[in-house]
Amino acid sequence: METVLSGIRSTGNLHLGNYFGAIKNFIKMQHENRCYFFIADYHSLTTHPTPEDLHQNVKQVLVEYLAAGIDPEVATLYIQSDVPEVAELYLLLSMNAYMGELERCTTFKEKARKQPDNINAGLLTYPVLMAADILIHKAHKVPVGKDQEQHLEMARTFGNRFNRLYKTDYFPEPVAFNFGVELIKIPGLDGSTKMGKSEGEGNAIYLADDEKVIRKKIMRAVSDSGPTEMNQPKSQPIENLFNIMNVVSSPDTVAHFEALYNKCEIRYGDMKKQLAEDVIAFTAPLRERILEIGADDAYLSKVARMGAEKARESASKTIKEVREIIGFKPF
Ligand code: TYM
């Protein structure tokens, strides 16, 4: 049986990118594999949240995972900081991670540009912590979006390096996984190529957004002045709208607007209205469950406790074995 693991940073509500990049694939896999899904709250410290925000965000992500369909009875659903073994593996792996490779990491360079006043060591070693998350359960498959591809490559590097150094085959090679074969990247509504939590206002559609907000965001999405020639290549913002439509609408709907675009007869207002309705049809049941589960503190606390227990069982076994491999042995 294969082990599957994925996680999401607790830095805000989940958006369509998180859902289609990671959660959807995970949900499909949870019944057939040994599955771990966690909330990366240690990772969120790189941006220095207040204690109140940290706690609230972890709760919100937990609620939204459950609402999206992760089943805590079959998958191990846990909060990263409930499993301190992860921090120990992070320390051990960081001894074999080199400055040069960490500095070259695209996400580090991006973050350093975005928060020039807070380029902390945690940002630099972020891929090491992520490797620890994955290797602590010896995961084989990691459902993630395209933006995490380089991090997965680094996780493989650190695992393989450990194996070579200690002449073992202890860690399997984790691969980024998507059922569609290609990893996906859901674009933003602001014309940018990525939907993301840290992008500007109006970029992302959140699972918890209500109908009014969704309509407003989509009607205001960036577009262009329309095609002037038959079969004209699409501009980035229009490509984005079609890409979002591809994941929430029926193939017939997409084909209908594609044909109109190619004939130069498209009215973006109509396309956006349809897109908004299809997004709402997709998110409305989720939103309902988010509100329901969010009000059930006793259930959430039970889920978190159960997840921590199961995750620690697997993590402590790994740490015990890794310590022995490295040469830490009791006298
Ligand atoms: P995070 O929190 O930025 O995103 C969580 C997951 O959502 C995916 N995702 C997207 N997929 C498609 N299109 C988008 N626009 C989009 N935006 C986000 C991400 O690829 C990711 O799968 N470093 C991770 C969290 C993490 C993790 C891990 C993931 C920490 N340790 C171990 C897997 C395994 C992150 O910041 O993802």
Q: What is the pLDDT of residues 92-104, one digit of tens each?
A: 999 999 999 999 9
Using the predicted structure, report yes or no on whether residue 198 has a pLDDT greater than 90.
Answer: no
At 177, is the pLDDT very low, low, confident or very high (cuts 50, 70, 90)? very high
pTM of the model: 0.96
Q: Give SS3 for 48.
A: coil
Indicate which residue of 59, 146, 197, 216 is catalytic.
Answer: 197
Which of the listed residues 13, 14, 18, 183 should we mutate to test ligand 1's pocket, taking the one with most ligand atoms within 8 A of CB?
A: 18
226 — pLDDT class (breaks 50, 70, 90): very high
Residue type, 156: R
Q: Please, are residues 184 and 146 in contact by the beta-carbon 8 Å criterion?
A: yes
C-beta separation of 50 from 95 below 8 A? no
Q: Supply the Cα-derived Rg of the chain in whole angstroms.
A: 21
Judged by DSSP in three states, 227 sits in coil
**pLDDT attached to residue 127:** 98
**Centroid of ligand 1 to alpha carbon of 31 (angstroms):** 21
Ligand 1 touching residue 174 (CB < 6 A): no
Is the CB of residue 20 less than 8 Å from the CB of residue 68? no
pLDDT bin (cut points 50, 70, 90) of residue 136 is: very high
Q: Are 188 and 240 in contact (CB under 8 A)?
A: yes
**CB contact at 8 A, 74 and 304:** no
Which residue has the least CA distance to atom 36 on ligand 1?
9
List the end-to-end C-alpha distance of the chain, in Å, as a whole number: 36
147 ligand 1 Cβ < 6 A: yes
Query: Cα–Cα distance between 278 and 57 in angstroms, integer?
Result: 27
| Domains defined for the chain, CATH in brackets | 3-177+297-326 (3.40.50.620), 197-291 (1.10.240.10)
- Specify the residue with its C-alpha closest to ligand 1, atom 9: 18
185 close to ligand 1 (CB < 6 Angstrom): yes
Q: From CA 1, how far away is CA 60, in angstroms rounded?
A: 31
Q: Is the pLDDT of residue 291 over 90?
A: yes
Distance CA 132, CA 5 (A): 12
For position 199, what pLDDT does the model report? 79
- For a ligand 1 pocket test, name from 148, 154, 192 the mutation site with the most ligand atoms within 8 angstroms of its C-beta: 148
pLDDT of residue 180: 78
